Amino acid sequence: MKYDIKDIKLAEKGSKRILWAEKEMSVLKQIRERFLKEKPLKGKKISSCLHITAETANLAIALKGGGAEIYLCASNPLSTQDDVAASLVEHYNIPVFAIKGEDNETYYKHINAVLDIKPQITMDDGADLITTILLGRKDLLRDIIGGTEETTTGVMRLRAMAKCKALAYPVIAVNDALTKHFFDNKYGTGQSSVDGIIRATNILFAGKVVVTAGYGWCGRGFAMRAKGLGAHVIVTEIDHLKAIEATMDGFEVMPMKEAAKKGDIFITLTGSLNVIDGDHFSLMKDGAIVCNSGHFNSEINLKTLRDMSEFVKNVRDFVDEYTLKNDKTIYVLGEGRLINLAAAEGHPASVMDMSFANQALSVQYLVENCVSLENIVYVVPEKLDNEVARLKLNSMGIKIDALTEEQEEYLNSWQSGT
Ligand code: ADE
């Protein structure tokens, strides 16, 4: 079996992490048990480009249990848990091509390695796999029946592909399932980004001014958790509606040029480019901490920061100190890559449970419905989304009411008013 990981001797530690995560992934576990019996993915080859974590390992094990042959590579050069990668290879016979800290060239070499199996299904987190196929490996399109996409940024790229008719096979936007972004993006990113900043710096949030760029689902989650820790949170936005929402949620809203002067900690969660740029760095306080939790490391203009700096040195794991020519220092965490996976362990298993249950059910849906699907971006069918919610609630031991016949009739009628 071919693979490329850091060190196979890390497998025992990785195995413990996979089992620990499994305890919180009860929906995925139920799907895995059904897959083991029914084998709905029998003979299907899946190339998967996800963050290589204990939670992803549980997804891969479920898909393999369903009869698929699955190859994994990382969806970010800095998010791989090397011990988990080792355990997948050693204990589960799942080929992994991912090493934490790999350079860009190796990152793409690994993407190409998982594509060499000629997949029928692609599974992306950020759309690098499908982009690699469309830009240079179109020969693979013959075998592909469909794909899935995990994250907001990836779905944005897919919609751009679909708009210019470049999308060459159907893709299900797992991100857009309610049981994904309501929880993973909000509570997952909220907690794990705070966790990443704290693990990298051991900084106290209470009393700090925290600038959150972007008030989408991820920004909302982060702002909420930073406030909960006692920070004064400022939100920056480009969307009027989200700016009103942030204001009514109790946050101060202002342009980045004003926020730059006030912040102690900055985080970008926008999916956009150069949200923190040269003119912002020059306005920042001495000792400001800057990080990103969006998918790509494009939200902070690090090239400009480097050009503005006299020197850069690493002062702690995941903390680089930039000394500017005006003698101020700015600290950048995790090289501007997603801080929750670079310096911490990503979202907790309990939310990834729902995200990856959607992934598993979406793959089964693609296998069963591929003949009738077009080359467009699909949302996860409502029935599957609801089923994930039902199973999750059930596993949490929470019961809810059901409509009475009378209520159902009332809600489906229009005649009775005041
Ligand atoms: N994205 C964010 N957190 C993650 C995790 N724990 N595993 C996989 N992908 C993630």
Token pair for 344: 């911490």
The Cα-based distances of 43 to 284, 320, 364, 380 in angstroms read 55, 47, 12, 23
CB of residue 100 inside a 6 A radius of ligand 1: no
φ, ψ for residue 243 (rounded to 5)?
Answer: -65, -40
CB of residue 56 inside a 6 A radius of ligand 1: yes
Token pair for 276: 């923190």
What separation in Å is there between the alpha carbon of 382 and the centre of ligand 1?
23
- 210-219 pLDDT tens trace: 999 999 999 9
Q: Could you tell me how far CA 299 lies from the centroid of its own chain?
A: 15
What separation in Å is there between the alpha carbon of 53 and the centre of ligand 1?
7
Give me the amino acid identity at 395.
S
What is the rounded distance in angstroms from the CA atom of residue 50 to the CA atom of residue 79? 9
CB of residue 346 inside a 6 A radius of ligand 1: yes
H-helix or E-strand containing 132? helix 128-136
Residue with tokens 């029928």: 120
Candidate from 48, 49, 79 with most ligand 1 atoms within 8 A of CB, to mutate: 79
CB of residue 347 inside a 6 A radius of ligand 1: yes
DSSP 248-270: HTT-EE--HHHHHHH-SEEEE-S
DSSP one-letter code for 396? T
* C-beta atoms surrounding 63 within 10 Å: 27
H-helix or E-strand containing 16? helix 11-22
What separation in Å is there between the alpha carbon of 33 and the centre of ligand 1?
22
CB of residue 353 inside a 6 A radius of ligand 1: no
What separation in Å is there between the alpha carbon of 403 and the centre of ligand 1?
36
Q: Which domains does the chain carry?
A: 8-180+348-395 (3.40.50.1480), 187-342 (3.40.50.720)
Q: Which residues contact 194 (CB under 8 A, 6 or more apart)?
A: 205, 222, 225, 226, 229
Reported as half-sphere exposure (CB side, CA atoms, 13 A), residue 324 has a value of 22
pLDDT score, position 149: 98
Diameter over CA atoms, the chain:
74
What separation in Å is there between the alpha carbon of 86 and the centre of ligand 1?
17
What separation in Å is there between the alpha carbon of 357 and the centre of ligand 1?
13
Torsion region of 126: left, alpha or beta (phi above 0 gives left; psi -120 to 50 gives alpha): left
Name the burial class of residue 330, with classes exposed (0-12), middle (13-18) and buried (19+) by CB atoms within 10 angstroms of its CB: buried
DSSP 193-241: HHHHHHHHH----TT-EEEEE--SHHHHHHHHHHHHTT-EEEEE-S-HH
What separation in Å is there between the alpha carbon of 85 and the centre of ligand 1?
14
Work out whether strand 96-97 and strand 69-74 pair parallel, antiparallel, or are unpaired: parallel
3-state helix, strand, coil in the chain (%, to 5): 50, 15, 35
pLDDT score, position 416: 86
Residue 347, classed as helix, strand or coil, is coil
DSSP one-letter code for 4? B
Asked if residues 71 and 98 have their Cβ atoms less than 8 Å apart, the reply is no
CB of residue 352 inside a 6 A radius of ligand 1: yes
CB of residue 53 inside a 6 A radius of ligand 1: yes
CB of residue 99 inside a 6 A radius of ligand 1: no
Instruction: Specify the residue with its C-alpha closest to ligand 1, atom 9.
Output: 51
Candidate from 75, 193, 341, 356 with most ligand 1 atoms within 8 A of CB, to mutate: 341
CB of residue 17 inside a 6 A radius of ligand 1: no
The Cα-based distances of 306 to 42, 302, 348 in angstroms read 50, 6, 33
Q: Which atom of ligand 1 is nearest to the CA of 53?
A: 7
What separation in Å is there between the alpha carbon of 46 and the centre of ligand 1?
19
Candidate from 192, 269, 292, 353 with most ligand 1 atoms within 8 A of CB, to mutate: 192
Q: What angle do CA 7, 11, 16 make, to 5 degrees?
A: 145
Low-confidence ranges of the chain (pLDDT < 50): none
CB of residue 51 inside a 6 A radius of ligand 1: yes
Q: Which residues contact 259 (CB under 8 A, 6 or more apart)?
A: 211, 234, 236, 266
What separation in Å is there between the alpha carbon of 189 and the centre of ligand 1?
9
CB of residue 180 inside a 6 A radius of ligand 1: no
What separation in Å is there between the alpha carbon of 253 and the centre of ligand 1?
29
CB of residue 55 inside a 6 A radius of ligand 1: yes
pTM of the model: 0.96
- Which one, of 100, 99, 106, 96, lies nearest residue 48 by Cα? 96
